[in-house]
């Protein structure tokens, strides 16, 4: 997260959010799927998505972005339903 928001002022929430969103959606490292492979039980679901599978449905993307935003100092939460 630090490298993705490097050089962006801490108070520029919009630019920080944009960079993290683009990393998840435009980097080509992550893909959307409803057919999830088996998850590594020893990892938190967000860690598993980020560092192992890099595939998931909308809840994985939303949860991961929320966690990354928090690490970047941007207040965030996930709302579902």
**Could you give the CA distance from residue 11 to residue 63 in angstroms, rounded to a whole number?**
22
**Could you give the CA distance from residue 14 to residue 49 in angstroms, rounded to a whole number?**
24
Per-residue pLDDT tens over the stretch 20-75: 999 999 999 999 999 987 777 888 999 999 998 999 999 999 999 999 999 999 99
- In angstroms, how far is the first alpha carbon of the chain from the final one? 28
Dihedral angle sign, alpha carbons of residues 41, 29, 24, 56:
negative
pTM of the entire structure? Answer: 0.89
The whole-number pLDDT of residue 7 equals 97
Are 19 and 4 a contacting pair, CB within 8 Å?
A: yes
User: Half-sphere exposure of residue 24, counting CA atoms within 13 Å on the CB side?
Assistant: 25
């Amino acid at each position: 997260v630090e490298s993705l928001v490097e050089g962006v002022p801490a108070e520029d929430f919009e630019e920080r959010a944009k960079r993290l969103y683009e990393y998840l959606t435009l980097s080509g490292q992550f893909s959307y799927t409803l057919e999830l492979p088996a998850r590594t039980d020893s990892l938190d679901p967000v860690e598993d998505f980020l560092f192992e599978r890099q595939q998931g449905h909308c809840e994985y993307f939303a949860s991961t972005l929320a966690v990354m935003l928090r690490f970047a100092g941007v207040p965030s939460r996930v709302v579902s339903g």
